[in-house]
Structure 1
Amino acid sequence: MLGHTTRSLFHVREYAMSSIINAVHTAVSGLNSQSHAFTDLSNNIANSQTTGYKASTTSFEDYVTNNELANDGESLSDSVAATTRQHTDTQGMVTTSTNSTALAISGNGFFNVVHATGQSNDSTPVLGTQQYYTRNGDFSQDKNGYLVNTSGYYLEGYNVDATSGTLGTSLSAIQVPSSVAFRPTESTKLTATGTLDSSSTTPVGQGTDMKATAYDSTGTASTVDLTWTKVNDTTWTVKDANDTSNSATVTFDSTGAVSSVTSQNSAGTSSTSSTSFDYTGSPQDMTVSLSGVTLGSANTVSMTSDSVTSGTFSGISMGTDGSVMATFDNGYSQLVAKIPLTTFADPNSLSAQNGQAYTATSQSGSPQINAVNTNGAGTLTTGSIEESTTDLTGDLSKLIVAQQAYGANTKVVSTADQLLQTTLAMIQ
């Protein structure tokens, strides 16, 4: 009888010990999970004022294991685990900034950025090859003219080639140094002035030339050469020296002023004007004004274009279409780079890095580069930033709940310890 009692106490002790250990194990997993939640909440609260920060949340899940407490092959949940969930696709509030070069995205896109890995001997940053993506658009120019955000990431885009004036097709860090040269503006009008010899000094069938430098949309210079030929004392023709089918017949009145201009281009189209004709040719079609030409006693005609050819760099400005413009003291601005935005199939699966930056993963999908306001990439607001998505009030409330849950789990550990001591005392 005594042996039977001893065996019963043994089984009671074993069952009780197993139950208590499972309870402690579950409570400890609860403590770890609530600690994880504390970390996520504290990170959100700490970054409530961080530009472009995307708040995260904590997800809890239970674990089911086979244990001695299970009956008839059933399983019991005896632990909990916590994981961090990113919400990089959540839109933050766009607010006005005092920084005129700041940009805020409203949409799904990210800025393409790189990070410096060091500096060269002349203090120029050495940029890494790792591609990063960010929503922190608080960009400013550094001493080398690069656009850098407050986390130290360098903005990338399509830069305009300084020589050809054409927009590039591959991403590179945007740099606008103070030494950037002004590209002459596109010529739209040529103006002729001076006199044509109406005396016998210039016989019929002869004449003179007038030349001007004109510029295309990229600032490339071309020489326009127009030839004047005398028809009679009051009529002259003016032709393109490189395309004689592009011509005009100019008639002068009794005072020597231009009275009419009949032009014909290489396509065979003719038109009549009082003082000008349409030039078609290189570098582009332009209007040639002849009102400043009069009849006189000598051939002194000359010609100029309306292009602005000089200017001193004064700063940069940002456009809502992603254009980065260099501004000059002559009042003109010129495109120096274009900013695209990159989207992902699952932005919440991007890998978070320091400084509100992300890298692509197999789960996020491949980066898709888009022009601003296309394919859901979003729009840009200049002179603005995207605020943190932290819900400060909500996270503080969750913090209180997490604190209570943590305290409850510590109570379970304390109670289990008391039960363990009671159980051990039963068989002593």
Structure 2
Amino acid sequence: MLGHTTRSLFHVREYAMSSIINAVHTAVSGLNSQSHAFSDLSNNIANSQTNGYKASTTSFEDYVTNNSLASDGESLSDSVVATTRQHNDNQGMVTTSTNSTALAISGNGFFNVVQATGQSNDSTPVLGTQKYYTRNGDFSQDKNGYLVNTSGYYLEGYNVNSSTGALSTTLNPIQVPSTIKFQPTESTKLTLTGQIDGKPTSATAYDSKGNAQTVSLNWTQVDATTWTVSNPNDATNSATVKFDSSTGAIASVNGQTQASGSTASFEYDGAPQDMTVSLGTIGGTSGVSLATDGSTPTGVTGVSDSVTTGTFSGISMQTDGSVMATFDNGYSQLVAKIPLTTFADPNSLSPQNGQAYTATSQSGTPQINAVNTNGAGTLSTASVEESTTDLTGDLSKLIVAQQAYGANTKVVSTADQLLQTTLAMIQ
């Protein structure tokens, strides 16, 4: 009888020890999970002032291991697992920045960026091929003219080809060096001055890409006071100009007599583009005129209205993603266009240092969009997107995590006491 009792007590002790050890494992998993939550919360709180930072949350789920207490038809969880849940699709508050080259996205898009992997002998950065994506749009120019954000990532976009004036079709880091040359503006008007001597008039004009071309005009005498000015490539593109016989001033153009002082001109059609040719004014000799005093005519010269010189003064960002080079002559010229990239599941992007991400199979293939298309979002200039951390809420959660951690430590200490009591059985 005593032996039977001893065996019963032995089985009770074994069962009790198994249950207590299982409780310890459960409590330890609780400690690990609360530590995980504490790490997520502390990271959110630490980055509450980090531009473009997306706060994460912690999800808990019960977990069933090889549970010796489970009987047929039953399932008992004996553990807990914590996972970090990203919220990259949450919109942060957009605030004004003193940095004129800063950009903030309102929408689902990300900036395309790359990292430097080293430097060349002339201190030019060597940029890697790995594509990164970020919401940190606090960009500024480095010493080489590249646009770099505060985390050291280089902004990519479609750069303008300096030779053709066209946007590239591949993404590359945007660089606007201080040595960038001003592209002459498109000519819209030719102003002629001088006395007609029958020789052709040549002038330099610039097309929409800033390329210089020579424009010629032929002069043909009709009678003593009448001449025809024409496009040598298209004789029908012409105008008949009549002059005053005594003063040599323009009297009419194409037979239309206008008030003295009104503009005398004709429309030139052809390369490099259509332009207005200014002949002067009716009744005036400051433009084209005839020599009436027997002197030798000076000949007619032409000057286009194209602005050909300018010194680089900085860059400006536009809400459509345009990066403009500004010059001291008051003009701005497009140097690059910034697109935005979207993902089917942005919360599955892989986080990297500096508020950046890389694409994963779960996030989906990167989709490059123009600003304000396909949900990519709009851009605000001289602005940044603030962290999405809810500081008040996370501090409250931190207290709850602390209490839960303490409760799990209490389970461990209590289990230890029960284990000691159980071990003392039948001693």
Pick the TM interval, shorter chain.
over 0.9
1:286-365 paired onto structure 2 within 5 Å: 286-291=275-280, 292-297=287-292, 298=297, 300-365=299-364
Report if aligned partners of 1:208, 1:299 keep a CA contact under 8 Å in 2. no
Equivalent residue letter for 1:242: N
Query: Deviation string for 1:195-229 (max 9, x for gaps)?
Result: 225xxxxxxxxx22111111111101111100111
Q: Which shifted more, 38-47 or 9-18?
A: 9-18
Deviation at 1:237, TM superposition (A): 0.9
Match of 1:25 in 2: 25
Deviations along 1:227-259, one digit per CA (max 9) or x if unpaired, are 111101222111112222321222234543323
CA contact (8 A) 2:263 2:278 kept: no
Map of 2:271 onto structure 1: 282
TM-superposed deviation, 1:68:
2.6
Tell me the CA shift for residue 397 of structure 1: 0.4
Cα distance in 2 for residues equivalent to 1:409 and 1:341: 46
Of 165-174 and 51-60, more deviation after overlay is shown by 165-174
Contact 1:317 1:326 in 2 (8 A): yes
Which has the higher mean CA deviation after the structures are superposed, 285-294 or 159-168?
A: 159-168
CA RMSD of aligned residues (A): 1.4
Q: Give SS of 1:72's match.
A: coil
Moved over 4 A (4+): none
Matched, 1:236 2:251: no
Tell me the CA shift for residue 5 of structure 1: 0.5
Q: How far has the Cα of 1:99 moved from its partner?
A: 0.7
Alignment correspondent of 1:15: 15
One-letter code of the match for 1:171?
L
SS at match of 2:38: helix
2:249 aligned residue (252, 257, 277):
257
Q: Which one of 196, 203, 207 corresponds to residue 216 of structure 1?
A: 207
**Number of equivalent positions:** 410
* 1:60 alignment partner in structure 2: 60
Amino acid at match of 1:316: I
Deviations along 1:286-325, one digit per CA (max 9) or x if unpaired, are: 1111111122242521111000000111111111111111
Kindly provide the amino acid, as one letter, of the partner of residue 259 in structure 1.
Answer: A
C-alpha contact 2:266 2:277 (8 A) present in aligned 1: yes
- The CA deviation at 1:274 is 5.6
Equivalent residue, structure 2, for 1:397? 396
Separation in structure 2 between the aligned mates of residue 299 and residue 209 of structure 1, nearest angstrom: 12
Summarize deviations over 1:24-71 as a string: whole Å, max 9, x none.
010000000000001000000001111110101000011123523223
In the alignment, what sits opposite 1:269?
A: none
Aligned letter for 2:223?
N
**Is 1:171–2:162 an aligned residue pair?**
no
What's the counterpart of residue 259 of structure 2? none
SS of the residue corresponding to residue 403 of structure 2 reads: helix
Unmatched segments (≥5 aa) in structure 2: 256-261, 281-286
TM-score for the superposition, normalised by structure 1: 0.93
Asked if 1:106 corresponds to 2:81, the answer is no
Aligned partner of 1:84 in structure 2 is 84
After superposition, give the CA deviation of every residue in 1:380-425 in whole Å (9 maximum; x if it has no partner): 1111111111110000000000000000000000110011111111
Alignment-derived partner of residue 268 in structure 1: none
Question: How many angstroms apart in 1 are the aligned matches of 2:115 and 2:419?
Answer: 56
Matched, 1:123 2:123: yes
Q: Distance in 2 between matches of 1:220 and 1:42?
A: 58
CA distance in structure 1 between the partners assigned to 2:425 and 2:73 by the alignment: 30
Q: Is the 8 A contact 2:322 2:336 kept in 1?
A: yes
* CA offset digits 1:344-376 (Å, max 9, x no partner): 111111110000111111111111111111111
Deviates more, 1:114-123 or 1:207-216: 207-216
Percent identical across equivalent pairs?
A: 83
1:50 aligns with 2:50: yes
Distance across 1 between alignment mates of 2:103 and 2:338: 11
Range 65-74 or range 92-101, more displaced: 65-74
Structure 2 distance, partners of 1:235, 1:119, is 69
The answer on whether the counterparts of 1:258 and 1:274 sit within 8 Å (CA) in structure 2 is: no
More deviation, 64-73/25-34: 64-73
Whether 1:36 and 2:42 are equivalent positions in the alignment is: no
User: Which AA in structure 2 matches 1:12?
Assistant: V
Shift of residue 162, structure 1, vs aligned partner: 2.0
Q: Identify the range of structure 1 (234-243 vs 347-356) with the bigger mean alpha-carbon deviation.
A: 234-243
Letter in 2 for 1:258: I
Alignment counterpart, residue 247 of structure 1, candidates 215, 235, 238: 238
Question: Does structure 2 conserve the Cα–Cα contact (< 8 Å) formed by 1:260 and 1:274?
Answer: no
